[in-house]
A = this chain, B = another copy of it.
Amino acid sequence: MPVLVMKFGGTSVANLDRIKRAAKRVGVEVAKGYDVIVIVSAMSGKTNELVGWVNETSPLYDAREYDAIVSSGENVTAGLMALTLQEMDVPARSWQGWQVPVKTTSAHSAARIEEILSDNIMAKFAAGDRVAVVAGFQGVSPEGRTTTLGRGGSDTTAVAFAAAFEAERCDIYTDVDGVYTTDPRITDKARKLDKIAFEEMLELASLGAKVLQTRSVELAMRYKVKLRVLSSFEEQSDTAGTLVCAEEEIMESNVVSGIAYSRDEAKMTLVSVADRPGIAAAIFGPLSDAGVNVDMIIQNIAEDGRTDMTFSCPTDQVKRAEKAMEDAKASGEINYHDLIADTDVAKISAVGIGMRSQSGVAAKMFKTLSDEGVNIKVIATSEIKISVLVDRKYMELAVQALHDAFELEKAA
């Protein structure tokens, strides 16, 4: 029988009533003839409770014990979901990471799935089980200890199972009903997308859209897993939510698919840096060593052998970046007059695979912002994305103006 993977996040299994509602959705797919693999998160709040205990007990905790403790939340949900399905006369059982097994690396708390053995679950499907309820977010290391994949890892578990079992589709049930052209809280013209390409979803995920974990999208792209994001709180239908799929499956699309934003970016400027060959390496080497994730970089034209170097990084890494630059200056590696941190900025990005074939997107973006009187501080582009830093006070205005300019309220 064809296999379907259905993943339910923490809010979708927050209590026994919601678990029952989720189980009913599973029952509908079983009735259609699917063998279903259900991936569950911990009941919402449970993981935070467990993490709180770990941090209070041991601030610099042993990640192996963290994993042993925190993974228990998913085990409870998996058992309760299996019992709920059994009550509906759907043959089901729960599976913990070590039982499947889900083999991972030994990188506790941030393990990567290396292999999912499908034999045990397939044998149970062959023997009459219709549902395998798998505790998400966990696996087992080569040393036989329980590992976790990092926060949000249940999305990755779901996609990895879909790949291993060659599932027809991987449905991610969450508390939003799909992927939008932009945040509906910023403009009510935001429109739910029926389809979005893997590459676009990846950019949106890394730009701050919190719908899917980045790694799960990467994995889906690599193994061509059809991913669907949909809400567990809406009516069930075959066309609900947003399908994240390969570009080829999207017949028509707008040049720009979505506008993303992030408040968590700071702009750092090294004023009057002595310009010489190798200066970029001398600056960004120490920043990388200090664990600063530099995003955008801009270098002004040199005058009199000196230049200004601007870069952006997450706001919570500003202190670390300042320390790294001061140390590099003290050791004589670099020389600059001043370091100015501007945390009062926001990053706005336009994303779309259509940019590859159509020119003029950047020009249109800059003109739109200019017409609104929004000054652009830094620009960065990739093949399917244009990002700009602007003053934070203009963030909502910029998102609304760009959404209008690219006519995202209209379907392609």
Contacts and interface: CB of A to CB of B under 8 A. Distances in A.
A22 to B, nearest CB: 12
Contact of A76 (B64, B72, B94): B72
Interface stretch (A55-63, A228-236, A286-294, A398-406): A55-63
Given A76-B72, A145-B99, A65 B83 contact: yes
A75 interface: yes
Given A69-B75, A75-B72, A83 B99 contact: no
A56 to B, nearest CB: 6
Interface string A83-126: 11011000001101011000000000000000000000000000
A221 to B, nearest CB: 34
Nearest to A82: B65
A397 to B, nearest CB: 48
Contact of A75 (B62, B68, B87, B94): B68
A80 interface: yes
Contacts of A62: 82-83, 86, 93
A346 to B, nearest CB: 39
Contact of A87 (B58, B72, B76): B58
Contact of A79 (B65, B75, B84): B65
A19 interface: yes
For the residues of A in contact with B, the DSSP-based class is helix
Contacts of A73: 72
A54 interface: yes
A16 interface: yes
Interface in A1-35: 16, 19
Nearest to A58: B83
Nearest to A54: B83
Nearest to A72: B72
Nearest to A68: B79
A373 interface: no
A152 B21 CA distance: 34
Nearest to A61: B83
Interface string A267-310: 00000000000000000000000000000000000000000000
A66 B87 CA distance: 14
A144 interface: yes
Contacts of A96: 68, 146
B69 A57 contact: no
Contacts of A64: 93
A244 interface: no
- Which residue among A16, A76, A84, A98 has the maximum number of chain B CB atoms within 10 Å of its CB? A76
Contacts of A69: 75-76, 79-80, 83
A146 B94 CA distance: 11
B99 A57 contact: no
A361 interface: no
A78 interface: yes
A362 interface: no
16 contacts: A16-B53, A16-B56, A53-B80, A54-B79, A57-B84, A57-B87, A58-B87, A62-B93, A65-B82, A66-B79, A66-B83, A68-B75, A68-B78, A68-B79, A69-B75, A75-B75
The 3 closest A-B pairs by CB, nearest first: A69-B79, A72-B72, A58-B83
Given A58-B84, A68-B96, 14 more contacts: A53-B76, A53-B80, A54-B79, A54-B80, A57-B80, A58-B83, A58-B87, A62-B83, A62-B86, A68-B94, A69-B76, A72-B75, A96-B146, A98-B98
